[in-house]
Amino acid sequence: MSSIPQKANERITKGIRRFTKIVANAKSKDVNESDTALIIADMLVEILGYDRYDEVTTEYLIRGTYCDLAVVEDDELLFLVEVKAIGKDLNDSHLRQAVNYAANEGIDWVVLTNGPVWRAYKMKFEKPISFDMVFEADLLEGKLKTSELVELFYLLSKEGAKKSAIEAFDHAQGIVNKYTIAAAILSEPVVKCIRRELRKLDKGVKIAEEAIEELLKHEVVKRDLVDGDKAKEASKMVKKAARKALKAKHENA
């Protein structure tokens, strides 16, 4: 993740500490969706650094229906914010509504929040349209340190938008994840390496690379990491990178 400018770091840190108390109090009172939206609008200003009057839009109209909030900078719609009441657990039906808004408007990013929980989603304009959750931050659960929350909120901040921070974060997540690591483990160079290490135990034992690969697929690596669309996509990416590296090696030889 790119370094956070000091001014932004200080503002986000201060804002998180302030609004952690505010959302906890609001949750104890079980405030309604409208009042939750007011808190979220304040967080967009005080934590993320957007201008209340020029860059934060309420009730954004999209093809005859309204999204709760939208963040706009220099006439560019950065992301939509779908707000649910602070006492509601976020679920797929809430996400589908927000995603439909984004699909209709051609927006890459959607934020779904109930105040304490913030989820950022990346739209994938394929057929059919899909989406991936890029991160989740929870102000009240306590699993993340303040510094970790600052890093995540920075991705949505005005300063982060100027540096395309969330795009860079998403790209990194696409490389370092359980699917690509599983694909790397199953790659030819790693299988060869495992075979070499096993032969050190007893050079007289015959060990086929195919047997190692089968063991990895069926008994070592979790099934969901080698099957399915994400696993196939990760495998293609690892193989493509290997071919590219081999080609570069031959060209430089």
Question: pLDDT digit string (tens) for 121-160?
Answer: 998 887 787 888 999 999 999 889 999 999 999 999 999 9
pLDDT at position 59: 67
Question: What is the SS3 assignment for 82?
Answer: strand
Question: What is the SS3 assignment for 186?
Answer: coil
Q: pLDDT tens digit string along 38-62?
A: 999 999 999 999 999 999 988 666 6
Question: What is the SS3 assignment for 142?
Answer: coil
pLDDT confidence tier of residue 26, bands split at 50, 70 and 90: very high
User: 6-163: what CATH class?
Assistant: alpha beta
pLDDT at position 2: 62
What is the pTM (predicted TM-score) of this model?
0.80
pLDDT at position 35: 96
pLDDT at position 114: 96
Q: State the average pLDDT for the chain.
A: 89
Cβ atoms 183, 229 nearer than 8 A: no
Of 100, 78, 86, the residue nearest 38 (C-alpha): 86
> Tokens 């990491």 label which residue?
225
Cβ atoms 46, 18 nearer than 8 A: yes
Instruction: Say how far apart CA 174 and CA 181 lie, in whole Å.
Output: 11
Cis status, amide bond into 128, omega within 30 of 0: yes
pLDDT at position 65: 62
Indicate if the pLDDT at residue 17 is higher than 80.
Answer: yes
* Concatenated DSSP letters of 42-80: HHHHHTT---TTTTEEEEEEETTEEEEEEEEETTEEEEE
Instruction: Say how far apart CA 15 and CA 65 lie, in whole Å.
Output: 31
Domain with CATH 3.90.1570.30 in the chain: 6-163
Instruction: Say how far apart CA 209 and CA 52 lie, in whole Å.
Output: 61
Cβ atoms 160, 1 nearer than 8 A: no
